[in-house]
Structure 1
Amino acid sequence: MVQGRGLPDRPGQASLPGPGATASLGGRGQMSLALKAARAAGGPLTTMTPRNLPLAMGLALCCLLVLPQDAWARHKLGGFQNLSPSDPQVEKVVQVAMADYNKGSNSLYYFRDTNILKAQRQLLAGFKYYLTVEMQSTICPKNKVDGNTTDVTHCPLATGVQQEKLHCNFVVLVVSWKNISYLQKHNCVHMESPVEQPEGAGGRG
């Protein structure tokens, strides 16, 4: 069987097979010739073959499907992302909520947070934080001398009859690129002592 001979390689020009050469080349040889032709034409080179394309697409789809829900919400406008209560950013936002709450409160003493129960973040025009916090009254009194400079995190907690505990839900808006952060909404209820029973508890005798 007579096989055609290819032209010698020249700089900037691909070697082209002679007549009948394709019949004697396997799949690997055909790929090599295709790469040479693409290189000579200045086109992009790729090693992706039609046989491997479905596998690659399947692997990419699997990677997307196994992403946690928070990963999707993180990039979705209006989506909610659960945050760790110990996250430094959460603790910082809680202090914003505490400062604004104390500023608007009628209490004679400052309150400070004692337990962060839950934290979520929503991407809107900035970040909106939804916080569930337990807080307690302190022995640090409000007055015009210290204004808003009191660091309530170091205020000792009140005890005995002066002790007051609250369970609060806060909504805080943070727009970092405008240096804006403030308490939008809050809802606080007094926490009852475990030994106290609501009126009518225990049923009738």
Structure 2
Amino acid sequence: MASLQRSSLPLLASLALTLILAVGIVASTNAEDEQVAVGRVEPADLQDEEVQKAVDFAVKTYNDMNNDLYISKPIKVMSASQQVVAGKNFYLKIELGRTICSKAQSDFTDCPFNEQQNEQKRVTCNFKIYSVSWENKMSMTSFNCPRA
């Protein structure tokens, strides 16, 4: 009986080692996939409510920060992507146009774009918005509006 246990011991040890290595490879592969997915910048769905909130926040903050007397609003969201971090980063490229509504007005829902040739102001801006939805917090990390 003792000799049977001694001859089985190397076999059991090699089986245990094989099992440990197999589990380790699967676990490390899954961990790598999760790390890539968390930090990866991916296209965002423009219809998604969180993306819409980020667009609205970017435009509102842009209007608050510039010294134009008139409100600008989006003509077109040219691109949107997102990155999961400790919250989410949204990368937005938005074409904005000047409206006829002054910043002194309180209701901007029906503000048409300014159609007068010398008063039109269109600009394309890149925004990085950081959102922590479970804390109901949003901030503009950076933005730029390069001249064409």
Q: Same fold (TM over 0.5)?
A: yes
What SS is found at the alignment partner of 1:95?
A: helix
Structure 1 Cα separation of the partners of residues 58 and 147 of structure 2:
17
Aligned to 2:111: 155
Structure 1 Cα separation of the partners of residues 47 and 122 of structure 2:
21
What SS is found at the alignment partner of 1:101?
A: helix
Structure 1 Cα separation of the partners of residues 57 and 94 of structure 2:
13
Instruction: State which of 43, 58, 81 in structure 2 corresponds to 1:120.
Output: 81
Structure 2 Cα separation of the partners of residues 127 and 79 of structure 1:
11
Matches within 5 A, 1:101-112: 101-112=62-73
Structure 1 Cα separation of the partners of residues 100 and 94 of structure 2:
20
> Structure 1: which 5+ residue stretches go unaligned?
1-71, 192-205
Q: Does 1:142 align with 2:103?
A: yes
Aligned to 1:96: 57
1:138-172 deviation per Cα after TM superposition (whole angstroms, max 9, x unaligned): 111112x63xxx43x53110112110000110001
Superposition TM-score, scaled by structure 2 size: 0.69
Structure 1 pair 73–80 and aligned structure 2 pair: CA distance change class (3 A): farther
Structure 1 Cα separation of the partners of residues 139 and 112 of structure 2:
25
Structure 2 Cα separation of the partners of residues 175 and 167 of structure 1:
26
Aligned length: 117
Identity %, equivalent residues:
30
Aligned to 1:17: none
| Post-superposition offset of 1:190 | 4.1
Rg comparison, structure with higher value: 1
Superposition TM-score, scaled by structure 1 size: 0.51
